[in-house]
Amino acid sequence: MRDVLVIGGGASGILAALTAAESPENRVLLLERQQRIGRKLLATGNGRCNLTNTGAAPEHYHGEEPDFVRPALEAFPPAAALDWFHKLGLLTAEEYGGRVYPLSNSANSVLDVLRFALDRAGVEQRCACPVRAVRREKRGFAVETDGACLRADKLILACGGAAGAKLGGVLDGYQLAKSLGHKRTGLYPALVQLVTEPEYPRALKGVRAEAELTLLRRTLVLARSKGELQFTDKGVSGPVSFDVSRAAATGGEGLTLRINFLPCGVREAEALLAERQAAFPELPASEVFTGMLHNRLGRMLVKYSGVDAARPLRELDRQALARLAEAASAFTLPVKGTEGFDNAQVTAGGLRTADFDPHTLESRLVPGLFACGELLDVDGDCGGYNLQWAWASGRLAGRLGA
Ligand SMILES: Cc1cc2nc3c(=O)[nH]c(=O)nc-3n(C[C@H](O)[C@H](O)[C@H](O)COP(=O)(O)OP(=O)(O)OC[C@H]3O[C@@H](n4cnc5c(N)ncnc54)[C@H](O)[C@@H]3O)c2cc1C
């Protein structure tokens, strides 16, 4: 028998343990520091668990070596992951943008089928069992928990990243890997709210809008995305802000966010406002966006433009209309940074992928050591890509190089 020890009972660790248990020569032990396995999984997708994305491909992933994900994703693409989950008894439904959720709309269903599968496969699980240290031995590894020293022939690190601290995001995995000679990149919160100058967002707290966001460092465009945005008391949130958050976290100083609330550019916006002026000459400027944008947003844009809100539209000259058009199509907020790991969905950065073989996820430095999931320097876009990486990399690591 070969003793396989998996550290971390999250998405990737569960898949690694189940895969290793498929081989009769492996005796698999799954160690989890929290009271139960899969705690973060239950919080994913606002409790609905966006478990994969049918479009998952390397271009949706980031890190020092974005192509590192290719062999794992090719070996266990979204279709294979869905097939695998269907065989475990999970029914799923695909929504817009290729996002897949359990048909029950409950993350519990995903964790339940995984727990049943672990029991059927005979994987021993120890919860409330934080691993404190790992050491290389002459043969295999020694793994220290509170009160026990366990032996393993093969060791799989699946400790996740620092994101979602309240759900168990910790630095343990990086430290355990470091003690075995592995290095990591810088770590940044990603898929997280943006923190901007608060004056305008605070006044609009809770307002949602469809918008195009462009993140700039001075005049250089770092990231751009279109979709739903929500104002918060510190800045902006919502899927579209998550999309540019990685670039905001890693982009350095002097960042600004340009927001276009209209489905057109500034010239067309000017023409649109001129039409409104002709159609509703007596309307006060404060109402110029009424019917186009959320009322509170519209009035705030007028204030931002500096145009006198009480003046009737007929009294506005071309310059005033241009300022209003610019406010709605190129509204600019200085970016102070992002929220921290507590609120982030994923960690950008992690264990250096150059030190792992992408075809097996075995360490190039320590034979018999494997790593998977968010712990590695891989982070995906918003929309099911991170769990797809967790499943695919867990599956590959669990093969133990076979
Ligand atoms: C609020 C939120 C919502 C999200 N929603 C989505 C979504 O809808 N779709 C999507 O694709 N992704 C989503 N993500 C991201 C996704 O959940 C993670 O990328 C994924 O769970 C990573 O899997 P993992 O196995 O690498 O890590 P984790 O799931 O974090 O699991 C790691 C496990 O290791 C354990 N551990 C750590 N250190 C030790 C130790 N020393 N000893 C023993 N155990 C240890 C931890 O307690 C944890 O249970 C979301 C994340 C958050 C925070």
- Structure confidence by residue, pLDDT tens digits, 126-144: 999 999 999 999 999 999 9
Q: Which of 159, 245, 379 to mutate to test the pocket of ligand 1 (most atoms within 8 A of CB)?
A: 159
Q: Please enumerate in sequence order all residues whose Cβ is within 8 A of that of 250, keeping only pairs 6 or more positions apart, or say none.
A: 186, 188, 348
The answer to whether residues 279 and 254 touch, using CB atoms and an 8 Å cutoff, is no
User: Could you read off the pLDDT of 197-227 as tens digits, one per residue?
Assistant: 999 999 999 999 999 999 999 999 999 999 9
Nearest protein CA to atom 49 of ligand 1, as residue:
10
What pLDDT, on a 0 to 100 scale, did the predictor assign at position 327? 97
CA of 311 to the centre of ligand 1 (A): 54
CA of 387 to the centre of ligand 1 (A): 9
| Ligand 1, residues at Cβ distance < 6 Å | 7-13, 31-34, 39-40, 43-45, 49-50, 130-131, 158-160, 163-164, 167-168, 170, 172-173, 345-346, 373-375, 384-387, 390
The answer to whether residues 210 and 227 touch, using CB atoms and an 8 Å cutoff, is yes
pLDDT at residue 147 tops 90: no
Name which of 380, 340, 345, 383 is nearest 249 in CA terms. Answer: 340
Q: Which residue has the tokens 């491909």?
A: 57
Longest alpha-carbon distance in the chain: 86
pLDDT at residue 232 tops 90: yes
pLDDT at residue 46 tops 90: yes
How far is it, in rounded angstroms, from Cα 266 to Cα 160? 44
Quick one: CA dihedral 364, 350, 400, 358, positive or negative?
negative
DSSP bridge partners of 225: 213
Where residue 168 falls among pLDDT bands split at 50, 70, 90? confident
Where residue 66 falls among pLDDT bands split at 50, 70, 90? confident
Retrieve residue 197's tokens: 């100058």
Name which of 267, 264, 270, 302 is nearest 283 in CA terms. Answer: 302
CA of 261 to the centre of ligand 1 (A): 34
CA of 11 to the centre of ligand 1 (A): 6
DSSP bridge partners of 125: 30
Nearest protein CA to atom 41 of ligand 1, as residue:
131
Computed over every residue of the chain, the mean pLDDT equals: 96
The answer to whether residues 15 and 390 touch, using CB atoms and an 8 Å cutoff, is yes
Nearest atom, ligand 1, residue 34 CA:
47
pLDDT at residue 166 tops 90: no
